Chain A
Amino acid sequence: MTDTSRRLLTAGAILLMAPAGAAFAENITPDLQVNGYATVGAAMLSGNHGASYPKNTGNGAPVIIQQPTTEADTLGGLQFKYRLNDQADFVIQEVAQSFSDPSQQYTEQNNYSLRTDWLYLDYRFNDDLTLRGGRFAFSTYMFSENMKVGEAYPWVRLPQEVYSQLGGLNNNNGVELLYKRRFGDWNLLLQPNYTSEQLNGFAVNNATQLAATLSNDNLTLHLGTGTSPINIEQPALVLQLQTASGAPAGTPAGDAIASSINLQHNRAVFNEIGFSYDDGQWFAAGEAVALRVKGWFPDHNSGYLSVGHYVGKWLPYVMYSAYRTTNSYQLNDGLPAPIAAALGPSQTYQQGTTTVGARYQFKPNMSLKMEADRISNFNGTSGLFNLPTASTELKTVYLYSLALTAAF
C-alpha cells in the first residue's frame, strides 16, 4: 500500500466516524467526551515555474506544488475532554498531519506524525468566567482557533494571505481568561492571555494578547491585538553578509551587521479586525490584519473579503484576499552601504488572490469543497511563493483544490 493510499484511508476512517446528521460529542463515559475532525484534501498549482506555495516560514507546513498532492490539506484530530469536577475540565487534542523539512520545500514529503496541539485545564469560577492554563490555540485572529477544523468555515483552507504568515504560531503555552457578558441579544467574549512559543528560528515569548468577540444570532464582530518581544536569529545570513563584506564578527562593521539582522528583544505588534455573517441565506466574512515588527523584518498588511449565497445544501462563494509588505525599502537603513545594496528590497512581498468556490454539505457535519484560486498582482515579487531560483518570475498562478471535511 502506498503512503498516499494509507494516508487517505486513515483520514477516511476518521471521516466515517462522523455519523449522518448526528450530534457532536461521543460520551465514552459520563465524564469523558470525545470529538474529532478530519480533512482529506488535494491541491495543485498551474504552470511550469517550479515554485511551491505558501512561503516557507520555517514552521514545517507542507507546500502545494505543480502536481496533485494531498499533504497540505489532509489532517485529522481527536479531542478528549475529561470532566474533573463541576468546575474543571481537562482537554487534550491530538492532531495527525504532515510536517515538511523546509529544505525540501519543492517536493511532496508525506511526513505524517501525531502531535499534541492542546493540553490545558479549564477552571470555571462561574458561568461567565473561566481560567485556562496549559497549551491552547492562538486566539487573536477570528479563525485562528479553528484553523485545522474544516467544518468551521466554508472554504477549502483559510485565506493564506492572513493565516499562512503566522510563522507556525498555531498554538502557544500560557494562561488565558474567558469572560462572557450578555447585553440584550448580544454576547461579548473577552479573551486576554499571556503566552510563549518557541518556533523555528524565532521565539514569541511573554506575549500579551486580547481577542474580543461580539456576536448576536447572525453577526459576529472580532477584534484582536497582541504584542510580544521577539527574538529572531539568522546566523547563516549574518555569516554570509559578514564574509561578503569582509567584516568578520568582532569587528565594528561585522557587529553592526549582526545587530541589524539578528533581532533581539525587539517588539512585534499585531492587530486584527474582522466580521462574519450567516443568516442561512447569505454568508459573508472578512478580516484586516496589520503586523509591525521593529527591526529587520518586514511589516505587512493583509486581509480578505468573502461572500456566498446558500442554494439548498450548496454554498457557492467568492473571495478576494491580499498581502503586501509595507516597509521593505526601509529595512536596510543603517546597514553598511554595500550590504544594503546587496540585499536590495529583499523582503518585499505582494500578491492578490481571487477565489471562486463552493461547499456542498451532504450531511450536516460533512462537506465537499472545491476551489479555484487566481493568484496574481505580484508586482515583481515572489508573493507568498517559494521560488526555485532568483530569476523565477511569477505572473499569474492558478491553484485548484478539492477537500472532504467532517467533524463529530
Chain B
Amino acid sequence: MNLRIAAIASLMMLAGHCCAEMVVVANPHVAENSIPRSELRRLFLGQSNTLQSGSHAVAIDVAGDYRNAFYQGVLKKTPEQMASYWARMIFTGKGAPPQQVSVKEVKGLVANTPGAISYLDSSQVDSSVKVLSVVGDTP
C-alpha cells in the first residue's frame, strides 16, 4: 500500500484532464517493485528492452491523452518531439515505437504478456497487474 501511494505520488504531475492519478504498471511476474525514470525513458524510446535485473521488458503505449500525459510527464517529450523522433528511427530502420493499445485493452495485455510495462489510471489497477514506483531524477 505504501509503495502504491509512492507510485501515485511520483506520477501525480502526469495528471492532465484525462488522468488524475496515473501509475506505471507491469506484468505481475516482473521481479522489480520500482523502476528508475531513466530506465523507463529508455524502454519507451526503444533504446532498451531489458530491465536492470536483466529480464526482458515489453513497453506498451496507451492511445490518446494517456500517452501524451505519460510522455510529457516521464520522458519530458511533447507529442510533436516524439513524432519527429520516431520518424527518424523508423525510416532509418533503427527502432520502432511500442505497441499501442486502447485504454480498455491495456490492463489485459499487461497482465498476460511476460515483461510488459505500461501505464494507466490508478482507479483501474487490480491484482492482475503490478504497480511500479518511479524513482530517480525529478521532472
Which residues of A are in contact with B by a Cβ distance under 8 Å? 21-25, 33, 35, 37, 77, 79, 81, 91, 93, 118, 120, 122, 127, 132, 136-137, 139, 145-146, 149, 151-154, 178, 182, 185, 187, 189, 217, 278-280, 313, 361, 364-365, 407
Contact = CB atoms under 8 A, between A and B. Distances in A.
A146 B83 contact: no
A361 B41 contact: no
B91 to A, nearest CB: 5
B138 interface: no
A407 B77 CA distance: 18
A178 B76 CA distance: 27
Contacts of B94: 178, 189
B66 to A, nearest CB: 12
Contacts of A280: 76-78, 81
A145 B92 contact: yes
Interface stretch (B3-11, B13-21, B47-55, B111-119): B47-55
B41 A217 contact: yes
Nearest to A215: B47
- State the 5 A-B residue pairs at the shortest beta-carbon distance, nearest first: A23-B100, A364-B79, A364-B83, A151-B87, A145-B92
A21 B18 CA distance: 16
Given A127-B50, A182-B48, A91 B93 contact: yes
Contacts of A23: 61, 63, 97, 100
Interface string B74-101: 0011111111101110111110110010
A25 B87 contact: no
Among A22, A152, A182, find the residue whose CB has the most chain B CB atoms closer than 10 A: A152
A278 B76 CA distance: 11
Nearest to A127: B49
A355 to B, nearest CB: 19
Given A79-B90, A81-B93, A93-B91, 8 more contacts: A24-B96, A35-B91, A37-B87, A91-B93, A137-B92, A146-B87, A146-B91, A151-B87
Given A278-B81, A280-B76, A280-B77, A136 B93 contact: yes
A263 to B, nearest CB: 31
Contacts of B38: 185
Q: How large is the interface on B (under 10, 10 to 19, 20 to 34, 35 or more residues)?
A: 20 to 34
Nearest to B78: A280
A223 to B, nearest CB: 16
A146 B93 contact: no
A280 B84 CA distance: 11
A23 B41 CA distance: 17
Contact of A37 (B41, B42, B61, B91): B91
A22 B62 CA distance: 11
Contacts of B86: 24
Given A127-B49, A364-B83, A149 B91 contact: yes
Nearest to B86: A24
A149 B93 contact: no
B84 A152 contact: yes
Among B80, B86, B92, B97, find the residue whose CB has the most chain A CB atoms closer than 10 A: B80
Contacts of A81: 93, 96
B41 A407 contact: no
Nearest to A276: B88
Nearest to B137: A185
B92 A146 contact: yes
Contacts of A120: 93
A187 B90 CA distance: 17
B49 A407 contact: no
B47 A25 contact: no
Contacts of A79: 90-91
A145 B88 CA distance: 8
A122 B97 contact: no
B124 to A, nearest CB: 21
A21 B76 contact: no
29 contacts: A22-B63, A22-B100, A23-B61, A23-B97, A35-B91, A77-B91, A79-B91, A81-B93, A93-B91, A118-B93, A127-B48, A127-B49, A136-B93, A139-B92, A145-B91, A145-B92, A146-B91, A149-B87, A151-B84, A153-B84, A178-B94, A182-B42, A182-B47, A182-B48, A185-B38, A313-B80, A361-B83, A364-B82, A407-B90
